Structure 1
């Protein structure tokens, strides 16, 4: 059974891809394909396995050993069921959005986390990653985190450094270091549902992707500027609401208050961030990390309507 890894990243259409494939699991099984998204990768104690293995002491390793055995048993069950391929999609394998936002950097612990992931399964046949412009990524993770925790106002002066000291080339370099012989395929976020289907086509075959139909739209979309104002008021006032109730109301504001997106960066900051991303994208396209291929998931796809 061949293993394919999709590592996200966060805020690049990953949830739409995962929910689309999860909802079509029967079609995938009929094609001999298993799919593990967050539902499988974060089941019970599996959720904390990778983070627990980043800096484990002997006691923590002993505690996590049964979880590793559980992963192995589930993998063998897929193989015994006759699956020809298993696609695992788990963006949290790279790290946490919250850490990226707070540090204005990308996945500082990716190497250690990926090493923990690599110890669970056979070497993958191929690894996929979607990357996003640094300015858009910073705004998007701020919006997403705002619906879940008290994140505060957007700090443009701090977040203008996103990708400066560690960007996508560093993250992909870590992937290459942990998986030295695996082909890494990278595409850039397009914000279109057709791109999600096109990326699935690259992973599983375009003929199969066409049979799956359109992928879900608007999954975990960023709140509008108006919604962010109301979410900030909600968190400030609280009114005796629990953390769970606050999150549900924040998500309702996100879904019910459309409008323009937050545009917190100055023109100068935006220019720097965009130029930084384009330089890194060009570096990846010209071999800065060995064994990386760049593709456009919209190539050959029908235009989105």
Structure 2
């Protein structure tokens, strides 16, 4: 029985992929594939805290016991799938790489990914046969991560984080290297978030190993897990100046009463990178895509981003990467 990991990353369409897997649970089951979604995994406190528990296990018997319990639960669930005649388990959890809010606070790009993955590798019931990773242009990734994380976490204003985010050197190729180092035998599939608008069913089929002769996988008809609107960030910071730590339903209620009186333009500049910073990010991302197309760390790039709109400097960088050898479609056999 094969283990397939969907590692995210955050804000790259991984939730849309999860939704495809969930809504096609019956078809996947008929094909011998079962799905362990992140919502189910996160109900287990030990799974959420596996990295921290691993760091404490040598000196804290309670941490070691919690890890042993988690390992046993995963093994039992794996055995149950085998007894049902499954040929593959699809496990999805982007937090195995790290957390968005921590990345933003540190001004670092999944800095502990390798150590975190080693901790989870020791707990999984089998070595993964295949691993999927979505990537995204850096500027859009950071802005989306910030907008999504801010309602849930106390973060500084984006203008105070910008310099650190643009200065840090880690990126997608480093993350792929980390994954390949921890799981050297796994097939590593990579796709750009920018391609999922048309490639979502093909990517889902390729990742899962879904049979080409089976009924086509269906996809969501609307956008999934979108980040909050741009104007919310300034409102959230204003509200937290009066009520520190405001979150959850109370924050949403307060936001609802303020949105009508404020325009989205109020904090757009605060959340954006400069044109120069965007060009730098776009150049890095184009280089990453070209390296992935060349098989960086054994990865396979299975989709390519759409062509840039006229006048889109960032997109032109991606087009240049495509021209250097990465512009091919997903295998049509997987696009059923």
> Which residue number in structure 2 is paired with residue 172 of structure 1?
176
Q: 1:141 to 1:74 in 2, by over 3 A?
A: same
> Which residue number in structure 1 is paired with residue 193 of structure 2?
189
From 275, 282, 294, the counterpart of 1:286? 294
* Alpha-carbon separation, structure 1, partners of 2:95 and 2:255: 21
- The count of aligned residue pairs is 297
Q: How big is the shift at 1:46?
A: 3.8
* RMSD, aligned CA: 3.0
SS of residue in 1 equivalent to 2:232: helix
Question: What whole-Å deviation, never above 9, does each CA across 1:95-145 have from its counterpart, x for those lacking one?
Answer: 111121122222111112111222222121111111111111111111001
- Structure 2 runs not aligned, ≥5 long: 305-328
SS of residue in 1 equivalent to 2:12: coil
Q: How big is the shift at 1:193?
A: 4.2
Alignment of 1:249-260 (within 5 A): 249=253
Q: 1:63 to 1:242 in 2, by over 3 A?
A: same
- Higher radius of gyration, 1 or 2: 2
Q: Is 2:102 the counterpart of 1:99?
A: yes
Does the 8 A contact of 1:126 with 1:184 survive in 2?
yes
Question: What whole-Å deviation, never above 9, does each CA across 1:40-83 have from its counterpart, x for those lacking one?
Answer: 32122243242234412332222321111111111111111111
SS of residue in 1 equivalent to 2:223: coil
> Which residue number in structure 1 is paired with residue 240 of structure 2?
235
From 212, 224, 229, the counterpart of 1:224? 229
Q: 1:247 to 1:111 in 2, by over 3 A?
A: farther
SS of residue in 2 equivalent to 1:141: helix
TM-score of the superposed pair, with normalisation by structure 2: 0.78
TM-score of the superposed pair, with normalisation by structure 1: 0.85
From 151, 162, 183, the counterpart of 1:156? 162
Q: How big is the shift at 1:241?
A: 9.0
* Alpha-carbon separation, structure 2, partners of 1:241 and 1:99: 17
> Which residue number in structure 2 is paired with residue 122 of structure 1?
126
Q: How big is the shift at 1:268?
A: 1.0
* Alpha-carbon separation, structure 2, partners of 1:287 and 1:195: 20
Does the 8 A contact of 2:101 with 2:153 survive in 1?
no
Q: Is 2:298 the counterpart of 1:295?
A: no
